[in-house]
Chain A
């Protein structure tokens, strides 16, 4: 028999997963996740239609660039904004949060259940998108080239790294936006501030760089991207002090845990006062 808190987390998970996946307000998140898939599938279709021989190395670099500069920084970032901020803030705006607050459930357990629900949703959406992007990109290469990349090259470890980075991005950004949804009435302000903080990460002193999510994620990406020197993209992709995975992974988890602990203190003090929202 499960301890009560596990039963309660599962109950929250069931409620939230249904709301998160079927919410009409969240359809733009699917659009964000599918954008790069459509782009890579389109590229493969053009290659096949024009009978153009794809350049495997170039494709791999293009994928790495899109993954780092668009997918992690924008698609997953804003996807997590849409899902995690609404876990509490959305319920306050819908005036339905009291439903949970009137149940005999510790607020920390509620927070954990909601975080896990958001994590399951974002991981399914964005990890699936990552897989589809890879499949779409290498579709025009043919199965033989792709299987050779998987079995004899670095394919499996690259895919694992990309999936790992996607999941860690969901954990890291998810924890931050969950907390933002609890603390701030207007989430646009913290979202803008965090986007700015993540964007200027490369310019920050070494110690401050570590208080971010993108710093660790960049280190986990298997291919260093090298956009044209001096461009904005080149600045974003600088990773002067890459971390080994055994530090980067616990690093993200540590940042996320610290944020969730702080959020759990905040949620315990949270009051239901819809009139002032």
Chain B
């Protein structure tokens, strides 16, 4: 019986001897796509290994849909984990890798066979399934691990750098698969140090640095709470000089810069709502506005503001 629908960390710390993994983490992760973002060594994999019981917290408590991670027989009925470990049982083909997992799960031969082919097909590995994994490319190994993690229809899918090694086409297909799984009501927890990859698909992000959670929530919400960094808005228009002069009339605008290409103005404002209202008036007064878009309302900017550019992931 699932006690709740969240992955909960309560004051969780993990130390590897004297080395800090993560410290005092309090999180409550709802369904949808959640991205763990941070540079190498920030604690992303540690959090994922804690969720899946591969390691135990030094302090604190974790529950996954109300189940403790030290109960693997219960936990992995609901959880699939695509790890970053790039090693496989010796001599396995892709098919055997998934099929054997399902037999461990308790499936009978026929059921395991059906589920194996379904998940292999879903990651586009049908043709290579009978080949030994040792001969797979990095991208194929990633995909077969993904097939294994979804083969039993988990409610929570934990993916550690799942897009590593995938070519652009497969990357796009895989992201679409994550979206589809999340739309089915699944928790998809993804770690990545490539921000733009997860920015587009995440419902919420958890930003990590040196083992600490520095921000969490919907990325736009996190950004709007950062008062010390005025919001940057790029306005594309036909008369950027006129627009720049007009916007400076507003107190909350702290900077207005003609864009490098001369076709717009980059505005920094402490009150975006008021700025958007004023923009309507400017548009009615003869400046033709083509587009208005936040320029730093993304994970990358938030991460840089919070942690500093020298540490920011790519």
Spell out A's residues near B (CB within 8 Å). Answer: 4, 7-8, 11-12, 14-15, 18-19, 22-23, 94-96, 98-107, 109, 268-269, 271-274, 276
Contact = CB atoms under 8 A, between A and B. Distances in A.
Interface string B275-300: 00000000000000000000000000
Contacts of B105: 103-104
A94 B55 contact: no
27 contacts: A11-B100, A11-B104, A11-B106, A15-B89, A23-B90, A95-B85, A95-B87, A96-B90, A98-B83, A99-B89, A101-B72, A102-B52, A102-B76, A103-B105, A104-B76, A105-B72, A105-B104, A106-B73, A109-B73, A268-B70, A271-B55, A272-B49, A272-B54, A272-B55, A273-B16, A274-B85, A276-B16
Interface of B: 16, 49, 52-56, 70, 72-77, 81, 83, 85, 87-91, 100-101, 103-106
A271 B72 contact: no
A7 B105 CA distance: 9
Given A98-B83, A98-B85, 19 more contacts: A8-B106, A11-B106, A19-B91, A94-B90, A96-B85, A101-B72, A102-B52, A103-B72, A103-B101, A103-B105, A104-B75, A104-B105, A105-B72, A105-B104, A271-B54, A272-B54, A272-B55, A273-B16, A276-B16
B75 to A, nearest CB: 7
Q: Which of B72, B76, B91, B100 has the most CB of A within 10 A?
A: B72
Given A4-B106, A8-B104, A15-B100, A96 B16 contact: no
B53 A19 contact: no
Contacts, number: 82
A202 to B, nearest CB: 41
B104 A103 contact: yes
A17 to B, nearest CB: 12
A100 B104 contact: yes
B106 A104 contact: yes
A97 to B, nearest CB: 9
Give me the 9 closest cross-chain CB pairs, A-B, nearest first: A104-B76, A95-B87, A11-B103, A103-B104, A272-B54, A271-B55, A106-B73, A11-B104, A4-B106
A96 B75 CA distance: 20
Contacts of B87: 94-96
Given A4-B106, A8-B104, A104 B88 contact: no
Contact of B106 (A7, A95, A107, A272): A7
A98 B76 CA distance: 12
A271 B104 CA distance: 20
A103 B72 CA distance: 7
Contacts of B75: 104
